[in-house]
Amino acid sequence: MKLMTDCIPCNLKAALTAIRELTTEEDAMKRLLGEIMQVPAMRGKDWNITGSQLVEQIFTRITGACGETDPFRKRKALQNKKCLELYPRLKKLLSESDDPLYVAVNLAIVGNSIDPMGYLSPQDIEQAMRASLDDPVPRGEFMEFKDRLEKSSQLIYLGDNCGEIVLDKLLIETIKTRYHVDVTFVVRSVPALNDATLKEAELVGMPETATVVENGIDGPLPGTILSRCSEQLRSLWNAADLIISKGGGNFDSLDEEKGITTPLYYMLVCKCSPYESYFNVPMNRPILRKADCKTSDR
pTM across the whole model: 0.94
For the ranges 26-30, 117-121, 196-200, the lowest mean pLDDT is seen at 117-121
In whole angstroms, how far apart are CA 113 and each of 28, 109, 161, 173, 247?
30, 8, 9, 21, 9
Beta strands in 45-181 (DSSP E): 154-158
Q: Is the pLDDT of residue 298 over 70?
A: no
Note the pLDDT tens digit of each residue in 139-168.
Answer: 999 999 999 999 999 999 999 999 999 999
Report which secondary-structure segment, H or E, holds 251: helix 247-254
Of residues 126 and 201, the one with the higher pLDDT is 201
Of residues 4 and 67, the one with the higher pLDDT is 4
Note the pLDDT tens digit of each residue in 40-92.
Answer: 999 999 999 999 999 999 999 999 888 889 999 999 999 999 999 999 999 99
Q: How many residues does the chain have?
A: 298
Give the torsion sign (CA, 219, 83, 93, 117). Answer: negative
